[in-house]
Structure 1
Amino acid sequence: MFSRIANLFRGFLSLFIKGLEKRNPEALLELEQENLRKQIASYNQGLANHAGLAERLIGQVRKLETEEKELRARTTAHLRAGNKQAAAQYALRLQTITRELAENRSQMESAEETYKDLVRARDVAVNAARAKIESLKGAINDMRMKTAMAEMNEMAAGMVGSIGGSGDTLSRLHEMVEEERSKASGRARVARDSIDMNDINVKEAEMTALADQALADFAAAEGLTLDGDAAPAPAQRSMGSSQPGSESESA
Protein backbone atom coordinates (compact mmCIF):
# COMPACT_ATOMS: atom_id res chain seq x y z
CA MET A 1 0.00 0.00 0.00
CA PHE A 2 2.73 2.43 0.97
CA SER A 3 4.65 1.53 -2.18
CA ARG A 4 1.62 2.33 -4.34
CA ILE A 5 1.13 5.64 -2.55
CA ALA A 6 4.82 6.44 -3.06
CA ASN A 7 4.55 5.62 -6.76
CA LEU A 8 1.46 7.80 -7.06
CA PHE A 9 3.23 10.66 -5.30
CA ARG A 10 6.25 10.30 -7.61
CA GLY A 11 3.91 10.28 -10.61
CA PHE A 12 2.22 13.52 -9.54
CA LEU A 13 5.59 15.08 -8.80
CA SER A 14 6.90 14.02 -12.22
CA LEU A 15 3.86 15.55 -13.94
CA PHE A 16 4.31 18.76 -11.96
CA ILE A 17 8.00 19.00 -12.86
CA LYS A 18 7.27 18.20 -16.51
CA GLY A 19 4.69 21.00 -16.57
CA LEU A 20 7.23 23.42 -15.13
CA GLU A 21 9.78 22.34 -17.75
CA LYS A 22 7.27 22.92 -20.56
CA ARG A 23 6.47 26.39 -19.26
CA ASN A 24 10.13 27.30 -18.73
CA PRO A 25 12.24 25.64 -21.49
CA GLU A 26 14.83 28.43 -21.28
CA ALA A 27 15.64 27.53 -17.67
CA LEU A 28 16.03 23.85 -18.59
CA LEU A 29 18.28 24.78 -21.52
CA GLU A 30 20.41 27.00 -19.27
CA LEU A 31 20.77 24.09 -16.83
CA GLU A 32 21.93 21.83 -19.66
CA GLN A 33 24.46 24.45 -20.75
CA GLU A 34 25.83 24.61 -17.23
CA ASN A 35 26.05 20.80 -17.11
CA LEU A 36 27.92 20.86 -20.42
CA ARG A 37 30.41 23.38 -19.06
CA LYS A 38 30.99 21.18 -16.01
CA GLN A 39 31.46 18.09 -18.18
CA ILE A 40 33.95 19.91 -20.39
CA ALA A 41 35.90 21.08 -17.34
CA SER A 42 35.99 17.55 -15.91
CA TYR A 43 36.99 16.09 -19.28
CA ASN A 44 39.75 18.67 -19.66
CA GLN A 45 41.06 17.75 -16.23
CA GLY A 46 41.33 14.09 -17.24
CA LEU A 47 42.87 15.14 -20.54
CA ALA A 48 45.48 17.18 -18.68
CA ASN A 49 46.37 14.18 -16.54
CA HIS A 50 46.80 12.06 -19.65
CA ALA A 51 48.90 14.79 -21.24
CA GLY A 52 51.09 14.80 -18.09
CA LEU A 53 51.61 11.05 -18.45
CA ALA A 54 52.60 11.50 -22.08
CA GLU A 55 55.08 14.23 -21.12
CA ARG A 56 56.63 11.99 -18.47
CA LEU A 57 57.05 9.24 -21.07
CA ILE A 58 58.66 11.71 -23.45
CA GLY A 59 61.10 12.75 -20.72
CA GLN A 60 61.84 9.14 -19.88
CA VAL A 61 62.52 8.33 -23.55
CA ARG A 62 64.92 11.26 -23.84
CA LYS A 63 66.72 10.19 -20.70
CA LEU A 64 67.04 6.59 -21.92
CA GLU A 65 68.24 7.79 -25.33
CA THR A 66 71.01 9.79 -23.65
CA GLU A 67 71.93 6.87 -21.42
CA GLU A 68 71.92 4.53 -24.40
CA LYS A 69 74.37 6.74 -26.27
CA GLU A 70 76.71 6.88 -23.27
CA LEU A 71 76.63 3.12 -22.71
CA ARG A 72 77.20 2.45 -26.40
CA ALA A 73 80.19 4.78 -26.37
CA ARG A 74 81.66 3.20 -23.20
CA THR A 75 81.13 -0.32 -24.46
CA THR A 76 82.90 0.53 -27.70
CA ALA A 77 85.76 2.20 -25.88
CA HIS A 78 86.39 -0.65 -23.45
CA LEU A 79 86.08 -3.19 -26.26
CA ARG A 80 88.70 -1.36 -28.30
CA ALA A 81 90.90 -1.06 -25.24
CA GLY A 82 90.72 -4.82 -24.68
CA ASN A 83 88.74 -4.58 -21.44
CA LYS A 84 86.32 -7.37 -22.30
CA GLN A 85 84.90 -7.76 -18.82
CA ALA A 86 84.03 -4.05 -18.48
CA ALA A 87 82.79 -4.00 -22.06
CA ALA A 88 80.55 -7.00 -21.30
CA GLN A 89 79.04 -5.26 -18.25
CA TYR A 90 78.33 -2.14 -20.29
CA ALA A 91 76.95 -4.24 -23.12
CA LEU A 92 74.57 -6.01 -20.72
CA ARG A 93 73.43 -2.68 -19.31
CA LEU A 94 73.06 -1.31 -22.85
CA GLN A 95 70.88 -4.26 -23.74
CA THR A 96 68.56 -3.53 -20.83
CA ILE A 97 68.41 0.18 -21.63
CA THR A 98 67.67 -0.51 -25.29
CA ARG A 99 64.78 -2.80 -24.33
CA GLU A 100 63.37 -0.22 -21.89
CA LEU A 101 63.77 2.50 -24.51
CA ALA A 102 61.81 0.51 -27.06
CA GLU A 103 59.03 -0.11 -24.54
CA ASN A 104 58.92 3.55 -23.49
CA ARG A 105 58.84 4.69 -27.09
CA SER A 106 55.92 2.39 -27.80
CA GLN A 107 54.10 3.68 -24.70
CA MET A 108 54.88 7.28 -25.64
CA GLU A 109 53.52 6.83 -29.18
CA SER A 110 50.40 5.15 -27.82
CA ALA A 111 49.92 7.90 -25.25
CA GLU A 112 50.33 10.60 -27.91
CA GLU A 113 47.85 8.88 -30.22
CA THR A 114 45.38 8.43 -27.37
CA TYR A 115 45.75 12.09 -26.41
CA LYS A 116 45.01 13.22 -29.96
CA ASP A 117 41.98 10.91 -30.14
CA LEU A 118 40.67 12.23 -26.82
CA VAL A 119 41.08 15.84 -27.98
CA ARG A 120 39.31 15.09 -31.25
CA ALA A 121 36.50 13.25 -29.43
CA ARG A 122 36.09 16.18 -27.04
CA ASP A 123 35.93 18.71 -29.85
CA VAL A 124 33.38 16.64 -31.78
CA ALA A 125 31.18 16.14 -28.70
CA VAL A 126 31.37 19.80 -27.69
CA ASN A 127 30.60 21.05 -31.20
CA ALA A 128 27.65 18.66 -31.48
CA ALA A 129 26.31 19.76 -28.08
CA ARG A 130 26.71 23.44 -28.94
CA ALA A 131 24.99 22.97 -32.29
CA LYS A 132 22.11 21.21 -30.55
CA ILE A 133 21.87 23.99 -27.97
CA GLU A 134 21.79 26.65 -30.68
CA SER A 135 19.13 24.66 -32.53
CA LEU A 136 17.08 24.41 -29.33
CA LYS A 137 17.42 28.15 -28.77
CA GLY A 138 16.06 28.80 -32.26
CA ALA A 139 13.28 26.27 -31.71
CA ILE A 140 12.32 27.87 -28.38
CA ASN A 141 12.24 31.34 -29.93
CA ASP A 142 10.15 30.04 -32.83
CA MET A 143 7.81 28.30 -30.36
CA ARG A 144 7.39 31.51 -28.35
CA MET A 145 6.67 33.51 -31.51
CA LYS A 146 4.19 30.97 -32.84
CA THR A 147 2.49 30.73 -29.45
CA ALA A 148 2.08 34.51 -29.36
CA MET A 149 0.75 34.52 -32.94
CA ALA A 150 -1.68 31.72 -32.09
CA GLU A 151 -2.94 33.66 -29.07
CA MET A 152 -3.38 36.79 -31.19
CA ASN A 153 -5.22 34.83 -33.91
CA GLU A 154 -7.47 33.21 -31.32
CA MET A 155 -8.17 36.61 -29.82
CA ALA A 156 -8.91 38.06 -33.26
CA ALA A 157 -11.17 35.11 -34.11
CA GLY A 158 -13.05 35.63 -30.85
CA MET A 159 -13.45 39.33 -31.57
CA VAL A 160 -14.72 38.65 -35.08
CA GLY A 161 -17.15 36.08 -33.77
CA SER A 162 -18.44 38.38 -31.05
CA ILE A 163 -18.75 41.38 -33.39
CA GLY A 164 -20.42 39.44 -36.21
CA GLY A 165 -22.71 37.43 -33.94
CA SER A 166 -26.50 37.73 -34.11
CA GLY A 167 -28.22 40.05 -31.68
CA ASP A 168 -25.22 42.25 -30.95
CA THR A 169 -25.25 46.03 -30.89
CA LEU A 170 -23.78 46.56 -34.35
CA SER A 171 -26.28 44.24 -35.98
CA ARG A 172 -29.20 46.00 -34.31
CA LEU A 173 -27.78 49.38 -35.30
CA HIS A 174 -27.41 48.21 -38.91
CA GLU A 175 -31.03 47.03 -38.97
CA MET A 176 -32.27 50.34 -37.55
CA VAL A 177 -30.27 52.36 -40.08
CA GLU A 178 -31.57 50.26 -42.98
CA GLU A 179 -35.13 50.64 -41.72
CA GLU A 180 -34.84 54.44 -41.47
CA ARG A 181 -33.27 54.56 -44.95
CA SER A 182 -36.19 52.62 -46.38
CA LYS A 183 -38.66 54.93 -44.69
CA ALA A 184 -36.87 58.03 -45.96
CA SER A 185 -36.76 56.64 -49.51
CA GLY A 186 -40.49 55.92 -49.38
CA ARG A 187 -41.32 59.42 -48.15
CA ALA A 188 -39.19 60.97 -50.89
CA ARG A 189 -40.97 58.88 -53.53
CA VAL A 190 -44.42 59.83 -52.21
CA ALA A 191 -43.50 63.52 -52.17
CA ARG A 192 -42.15 63.32 -55.72
CA ASP A 193 -45.27 61.60 -57.00
CA SER A 194 -47.52 64.25 -55.43
CA ILE A 195 -45.94 67.13 -57.40
CA ASP A 196 -48.11 68.39 -60.40
CA MET A 197 -45.65 68.56 -63.24
CA ASN A 198 -48.20 69.97 -65.77
CA ASP A 199 -48.34 73.37 -64.08
CA ILE A 200 -44.58 73.43 -63.80
CA ASN A 201 -44.15 72.62 -67.50
CA VAL A 202 -46.66 75.34 -68.52
CA LYS A 203 -44.99 77.94 -66.36
CA GLU A 204 -41.59 76.91 -67.68
CA ALA A 205 -42.82 77.29 -71.34
CA GLU A 206 -44.38 80.64 -70.51
CA MET A 207 -41.18 81.94 -68.98
CA THR A 208 -39.18 80.74 -71.98
CA ALA A 209 -41.56 82.47 -74.47
CA LEU A 210 -41.47 85.74 -72.54
CA ALA A 211 -37.70 85.63 -72.44
CA ASP A 212 -37.48 84.98 -76.19
CA GLN A 213 -39.90 87.83 -76.93
CA ALA A 214 -37.93 90.26 -74.75
CA LEU A 215 -34.73 89.27 -76.51
CA ALA A 216 -36.31 89.75 -79.96
CA ASP A 217 -37.62 93.23 -78.98
CA PHE A 218 -34.23 94.23 -77.75
CA ALA A 219 -32.51 93.03 -80.94
CA ALA A 220 -35.01 94.90 -83.14
CA ALA A 221 -34.52 98.10 -81.16
CA GLU A 222 -30.77 97.87 -81.44
CA GLY A 223 -30.69 96.74 -85.07
CA LEU A 224 -29.08 93.45 -84.17
CA THR A 225 -29.61 90.09 -85.77
CA LEU A 226 -30.35 87.03 -83.69
CA ASP A 227 -28.87 83.67 -84.60
CA GLY A 228 -31.10 81.99 -87.19
CA ASP A 229 -32.87 85.22 -88.31
CA ALA A 230 -32.34 86.82 -91.79
CA ALA A 231 -30.00 89.83 -91.98
CA PRO A 232 -31.77 93.25 -92.61
CA ALA A 233 -31.55 94.57 -96.21
CA PRO A 234 -29.17 97.52 -96.84
CA ALA A 235 -30.74 101.00 -97.18
CA GLN A 236 -31.68 102.09 -100.84
CA ARG A 237 -30.18 105.26 -102.25
CA SER A 238 -32.57 108.05 -103.56
CA MET A 239 -33.12 108.61 -107.32
CA GLY A 240 -31.75 112.14 -107.10
CA SER A 241 -28.41 111.07 -105.85
CA SER A 242 -25.85 110.97 -108.59
CA GLN A 243 -23.53 108.16 -109.29
CA PRO A 244 -19.85 108.86 -109.16
CA GLY A 245 -18.63 110.23 -112.38
CA SER A 246 -22.13 111.38 -113.59
CA GLU A 247 -21.32 115.09 -113.54
CA SER A 248 -18.26 114.46 -115.60
CA GLU A 249 -20.30 112.55 -118.15
CA SER A 250 -22.93 115.30 -118.41
CA ALA A 251 -20.30 117.83 -118.75
Structure 2
Amino acid sequence: MNIFSRLANLVRGFLSLFVTGLEQQHPEIAYENAINTMIEKYNKLKNATAGLIRLREDAADRLQKAQGQQKELSAMLEEAMATNQDDLAVELIERKEAVEAEIAAMEAELQGAEKDVDTAKTALTEVKGEIAKLKAEKDRMLAKMQSAQARVRIQDQLEGLSVDAELRALENVRTGIKDTIAKAKLGEELRESDLDTRLKSLKAGSSKATARAKLEAMKKERAGAADANRTI
Protein backbone atom coordinates (compact mmCIF):
# COMPACT_ATOMS: atom_id res chain seq x y z
CA MET A 1 0.00 0.00 0.00
CA ASN A 2 1.53 3.31 -1.06
CA ILE A 3 1.47 6.55 0.90
CA PHE A 4 -1.48 7.96 -1.06
CA SER A 5 -3.64 4.93 -0.31
CA ARG A 6 -2.76 5.17 3.37
CA LEU A 7 -3.60 8.86 3.40
CA ALA A 8 -6.89 8.17 1.63
CA ASN A 9 -7.76 5.51 4.23
CA LEU A 10 -6.83 7.91 7.01
CA VAL A 11 -9.05 10.64 5.58
CA ARG A 12 -11.92 8.21 5.17
CA GLY A 13 -11.44 7.11 8.77
CA PHE A 14 -11.57 10.67 10.05
CA LEU A 15 -14.63 11.42 7.94
CA SER A 16 -16.32 8.28 9.21
CA LEU A 17 -15.66 9.28 12.82
CA PHE A 18 -16.88 12.81 12.13
CA VAL A 19 -20.06 11.61 10.43
CA THR A 20 -20.69 9.06 13.20
CA GLY A 21 -20.37 11.73 15.87
CA LEU A 22 -22.59 14.09 13.91
CA GLU A 23 -25.26 11.43 13.47
CA GLN A 24 -25.18 10.61 17.19
CA GLN A 25 -25.68 14.28 18.05
CA HIS A 26 -28.33 14.71 15.34
CA PRO A 27 -30.06 11.32 14.83
CA GLU A 28 -32.62 12.94 12.55
CA ILE A 29 -29.83 13.27 9.97
CA ALA A 30 -29.12 9.53 10.11
CA TYR A 31 -32.80 8.72 9.75
CA GLU A 32 -33.21 11.12 6.83
CA ASN A 33 -30.18 9.62 5.09
CA ALA A 34 -31.52 6.09 5.58
CA ILE A 35 -35.00 7.08 4.37
CA ASN A 36 -33.61 8.89 1.33
CA THR A 37 -31.44 5.87 0.50
CA MET A 38 -34.49 3.59 0.73
CA ILE A 39 -36.53 5.98 -1.44
CA GLU A 40 -33.74 6.04 -4.02
CA LYS A 41 -33.65 2.25 -3.98
CA TYR A 42 -37.44 2.16 -4.35
CA ASN A 43 -37.34 4.48 -7.36
CA LYS A 44 -34.63 2.39 -9.06
CA LEU A 45 -36.56 -0.78 -8.35
CA LYS A 46 -39.71 0.88 -9.67
CA ASN A 47 -37.96 1.77 -12.92
CA ALA A 48 -36.60 -1.76 -13.22
CA THR A 49 -40.08 -3.18 -12.60
CA ALA A 50 -41.47 -0.93 -15.29
CA GLY A 51 -38.82 -2.32 -17.66
CA LEU A 52 -39.83 -5.88 -16.75
CA ILE A 53 -43.49 -5.05 -17.38
CA ARG A 54 -42.55 -3.65 -20.79
CA LEU A 55 -40.67 -6.87 -21.61
CA ARG A 56 -43.66 -8.90 -20.44
CA GLU A 57 -45.99 -6.88 -22.67
CA ASP A 58 -43.62 -7.28 -25.62
CA ALA A 59 -43.53 -11.03 -25.04
CA ALA A 60 -47.34 -11.11 -24.82
CA ASP A 61 -47.64 -9.14 -28.08
CA ARG A 62 -45.22 -11.44 -29.91
CA LEU A 63 -47.05 -14.47 -28.57
CA GLN A 64 -50.38 -13.07 -29.71
CA LYS A 65 -49.00 -12.44 -33.20
CA ALA A 66 -47.51 -15.91 -33.35
CA GLN A 67 -50.81 -17.42 -32.27
CA GLY A 68 -52.57 -15.39 -35.00
CA GLN A 69 -50.05 -16.65 -37.50
CA GLN A 70 -50.66 -20.19 -36.28
CA LYS A 71 -54.40 -19.83 -36.86
CA GLU A 72 -53.80 -18.40 -40.30
CA LEU A 73 -51.45 -21.25 -41.26
CA SER A 74 -53.98 -23.77 -39.94
CA ALA A 75 -56.69 -22.25 -42.13
CA MET A 76 -54.39 -22.22 -45.16
CA LEU A 77 -53.42 -25.82 -44.51
CA GLU A 78 -57.07 -26.87 -44.42
CA GLU A 79 -57.65 -25.06 -47.72
CA ALA A 80 -54.56 -26.67 -49.32
CA MET A 81 -55.67 -30.09 -48.18
CA ALA A 82 -59.21 -29.45 -49.41
CA THR A 83 -57.93 -28.44 -52.85
CA ASN A 84 -55.39 -31.29 -52.97
CA GLN A 85 -52.42 -28.94 -53.13
CA ASP A 86 -50.10 -31.31 -51.38
CA ASP A 87 -46.93 -29.37 -52.06
CA LEU A 88 -48.42 -26.26 -50.41
CA ALA A 89 -49.78 -28.42 -47.61
CA VAL A 90 -46.30 -29.78 -46.85
CA GLU A 91 -44.84 -26.26 -46.79
CA LEU A 92 -47.66 -25.02 -44.59
CA ILE A 93 -47.17 -27.93 -42.17
CA GLU A 94 -43.47 -27.09 -41.82
CA ARG A 95 -44.22 -23.43 -41.26
CA LYS A 96 -46.97 -24.25 -38.79
CA GLU A 97 -44.67 -26.53 -36.79
CA ALA A 98 -41.99 -23.82 -36.70
CA VAL A 99 -44.53 -21.28 -35.46
CA GLU A 100 -45.81 -23.72 -32.86
CA ALA A 101 -42.22 -24.21 -31.58
CA GLU A 102 -41.86 -20.43 -31.40
CA ILE A 103 -45.16 -20.20 -29.54
CA ALA A 104 -43.96 -22.74 -26.96
CA ALA A 105 -40.76 -20.74 -26.42
CA MET A 106 -42.72 -17.50 -26.23
CA GLU A 107 -45.11 -18.95 -23.66
CA ALA A 108 -42.15 -20.00 -21.51
CA GLU A 109 -40.63 -16.55 -21.97
CA LEU A 110 -43.91 -14.90 -21.00
CA GLN A 111 -44.21 -17.05 -17.89
CA GLY A 112 -40.68 -16.09 -16.87
CA ALA A 113 -41.43 -12.42 -17.50
CA GLU A 114 -44.59 -12.63 -15.39
CA LYS A 115 -42.63 -14.25 -12.54
CA ASP A 116 -39.99 -11.52 -12.78
CA VAL A 117 -42.67 -8.85 -12.64
CA ASP A 118 -44.36 -10.50 -9.65
CA THR A 119 -41.02 -10.76 -7.84
CA ALA A 120 -40.20 -7.12 -8.57
CA LYS A 121 -43.66 -5.99 -7.42
CA THR A 122 -43.24 -7.96 -4.19
CA ALA A 123 -39.86 -6.30 -3.65
CA LEU A 124 -41.43 -2.91 -4.32
CA THR A 125 -44.12 -3.57 -1.73
CA GLU A 126 -41.51 -4.66 0.82
CA VAL A 127 -39.31 -1.63 0.24
CA LYS A 128 -42.31 0.66 0.43
CA GLY A 129 -43.28 -0.98 3.72
CA GLU A 130 -39.72 -0.57 5.04
CA ILE A 131 -39.82 3.12 4.15
CA ALA A 132 -43.10 3.53 6.02
CA LYS A 133 -41.75 1.66 9.05
CA LEU A 134 -38.55 3.70 8.98
CA LYS A 135 -40.50 6.95 8.89
CA ALA A 136 -42.67 5.79 11.80
CA GLU A 137 -39.56 4.71 13.71
CA LYS A 138 -37.98 8.11 13.06
CA ASP A 139 -40.98 9.95 14.46
CA ARG A 140 -41.19 7.61 17.45
CA MET A 141 -37.48 7.67 18.31
CA LEU A 142 -37.13 11.43 17.83
CA ALA A 143 -40.13 11.94 20.11
CA LYS A 144 -38.48 9.72 22.73
CA MET A 145 -35.21 11.63 22.35
CA GLN A 146 -36.97 14.99 22.76
CA SER A 147 -38.76 13.69 25.84
CA ALA A 148 -35.46 12.44 27.30
CA GLN A 149 -33.78 15.76 26.54
CA ALA A 150 -36.63 17.58 28.27
CA ARG A 151 -36.23 15.36 31.34
CA VAL A 152 -32.50 16.01 31.39
CA ARG A 153 -33.10 19.77 31.22
CA ILE A 154 -35.62 19.54 34.06
CA GLN A 155 -33.19 17.48 36.12
CA ASP A 156 -30.47 20.04 35.51
CA GLN A 157 -32.84 22.80 36.59
CA LEU A 158 -33.79 20.87 39.72
CA GLU A 159 -30.14 20.35 40.52
CA GLY A 160 -29.62 24.06 40.01
CA LEU A 161 -32.36 24.70 42.57
CA SER A 162 -30.59 22.58 45.19
CA VAL A 163 -30.00 24.31 48.55
CA ASP A 164 -26.77 22.45 49.18
CA ALA A 165 -24.66 25.40 48.10
CA GLU A 166 -26.71 27.81 50.23
CA LEU A 167 -26.52 25.49 53.22
CA ARG A 168 -22.78 25.21 52.82
CA ALA A 169 -22.50 28.98 52.68
CA LEU A 170 -24.70 29.32 55.78
CA GLU A 171 -22.60 26.75 57.56
CA ASN A 172 -19.54 28.84 56.80
CA VAL A 173 -21.31 31.86 58.30
CA ARG A 174 -22.20 29.86 61.40
CA THR A 175 -18.63 28.72 61.75
CA GLY A 176 -17.45 32.32 61.42
CA ILE A 177 -19.85 33.48 64.14
CA LYS A 178 -18.73 30.69 66.44
CA ASP A 179 -15.10 31.62 65.81
CA THR A 180 -15.82 35.26 66.68
CA ILE A 181 -17.59 34.26 69.91
CA ALA A 182 -14.73 31.95 70.79
CA LYS A 183 -12.23 34.77 70.21
CA ALA A 184 -14.27 37.07 72.47
CA LYS A 185 -14.36 34.45 75.23
CA LEU A 186 -10.67 33.88 74.82
CA GLY A 187 -10.03 37.62 75.33
CA GLU A 188 -12.13 37.61 78.51
CA GLU A 189 -10.40 34.52 79.83
CA LEU A 190 -7.01 36.01 79.06
CA ARG A 191 -7.94 39.24 80.87
CA GLU A 192 -9.16 37.31 83.90
CA SER A 193 -5.93 35.40 84.07
CA ASP A 194 -3.80 38.52 83.59
CA LEU A 195 -1.73 39.52 86.74
CA ASP A 196 -2.79 43.17 86.69
CA THR A 197 -6.38 42.14 86.41
CA ARG A 198 -5.99 39.80 89.35
CA LEU A 199 -4.29 42.56 91.44
CA LYS A 200 -7.04 45.02 90.65
CA SER A 201 -9.57 42.42 91.68
CA LEU A 202 -7.66 41.77 94.90
CA LYS A 203 -7.37 45.51 95.65
CA ALA A 204 -11.06 45.97 95.05
CA GLY A 205 -11.78 43.11 97.43
CA SER A 206 -9.45 44.59 100.09
CA SER A 207 -11.07 48.01 99.81
CA LYS A 208 -14.46 46.49 100.32
CA ALA A 209 -13.21 44.58 103.40
CA THR A 210 -11.84 47.80 104.93
CA ALA A 211 -15.11 49.57 104.27
CA ARG A 212 -17.00 46.74 105.93
CA ALA A 213 -14.69 46.95 108.99
CA LYS A 214 -15.25 50.70 109.26
CA LEU A 215 -18.96 50.13 109.01
CA GLU A 216 -18.89 47.65 111.88
CA ALA A 217 -16.82 50.06 114.01
CA MET A 218 -19.22 52.90 113.33
CA LYS A 219 -22.15 50.70 114.29
CA LYS A 220 -20.46 49.74 117.57
CA GLU A 221 -19.62 53.39 118.29
CA ARG A 222 -23.19 54.47 117.75
CA ALA A 223 -24.45 51.61 119.87
CA GLY A 224 -22.10 52.64 122.73
CA ALA A 225 -23.23 56.27 122.56
CA ALA A 226 -26.83 55.17 122.72
CA ASP A 227 -26.21 53.08 125.82
CA ALA A 228 -24.47 56.05 127.55
CA ASN A 229 -27.38 58.35 126.91
CA ARG A 230 -29.81 55.86 128.36
CA THR A 231 -27.66 55.58 131.57
CA ILE A 232 -27.72 59.31 132.19
Report the TM range for the smaller structure's normalisation: 0.5 to 0.7
CA RMSD of aligned residues (A): 2.6
Structure 1 residues 167 and 25: alpha-carbon distance in aligned structure 2, compared to 1, 3 A threshold:
same
Structure 1 residues 19 and 161: alpha-carbon distance in aligned structure 2, compared to 1, 3 A threshold:
farther
**Aligned residue number for residue 84 of structure 2:** 82
| TM-score under structure 2 length normalisation | 0.66
Whole-angstrom distance in 2 between the partners of 1:5 and 1:40: 35
**Aligned residue number for residue 212 of structure 1:** none
Q: Deviations over 1:129-170 (max 9, x none)?
A: 32023113211221121122112112202322446632249x
**Residue number among 34, 37, 57 corresponding to 2:36 in the alignment:** 34
Amino acid at match of 1:87: A
**Aligned residue number for residue 101 of structure 1:** 103
Equivalent residues of 2:49, 2:120 under 8 A apart:
yes
Structure 1 residues 166 and 30: alpha-carbon distance in aligned structure 2, compared to 1, 3 A threshold:
same
Whole-angstrom distance in 1 between the partners of 2:110 and 2:128: 27
Structure 1 residues 67 and 7: alpha-carbon distance in aligned structure 2, compared to 1, 3 A threshold:
closer
**Percent of paired sites with the same residue:** 22
Task: Say whether residues 1:159 and 2:156 are aligned partners.
Answer: no
More helix by share: 2
Task: Say whether residues 1:111 and 2:113 are aligned partners.
Answer: yes
- Runs of 4+ more than 6 Å apart: 3-6
- What residue ranges of structure 2 are gaps of 5+ in the alignment? 175-232
Q: CA deviation at 1:110?
A: 1.6
Equivalent residues of 2:66, 2:99 under 8 A apart:
yes
**Aligned residue number for residue 135 of structure 1:** 137
Whole-angstrom distance in 1 between the partners of 2:41 and 2:53: 18
Q: CA deviation at 1:85?
A: 0.8
Equivalent residues of 2:42, 2:127 under 8 A apart:
no
Q: Deviations over 1:37-68 (max 9, x none)?
A: 22221111111111111000000011011100
Classify the secondary structure of the residue corresponding to 1:167. Answer: helix
Q: Deviations over 1:191-224 (max 9, x none)?
A: xxxxxxxxxxxxxxxxxxxxxxxxxxxxxxxxxx
Equivalent residues of 2:56, 2:114 under 8 A apart:
yes
**Aligned residue number for residue 239 of structure 1:** none
Whole-angstrom distance in 2 between the partners of 1:53 and 1:62: 14
Amino acid at match of 1:121: A
Structure 1 residues 67 and 144: alpha-carbon distance in aligned structure 2, compared to 1, 3 A threshold:
same
Equivalenced residues, count: 172
**Aligned residue number for residue 67 of structure 2:** 65
Amino acid at match of 1:138: R
Equivalent residues of 2:67, 2:103 under 8 A apart:
yes
Higher relative contact order (CA 8 A, sep 6+): 2
Amino acid at match of 2:136: E
Q: Deviations over 1:8-48 (max 9, x none)?
A: 55544433222211122212322222222222211111111
Task: Say whether residues 1:45 and 2:47 are aligned partners.
Answer: yes
**Aligned residue number for residue 209 of structure 2:** none
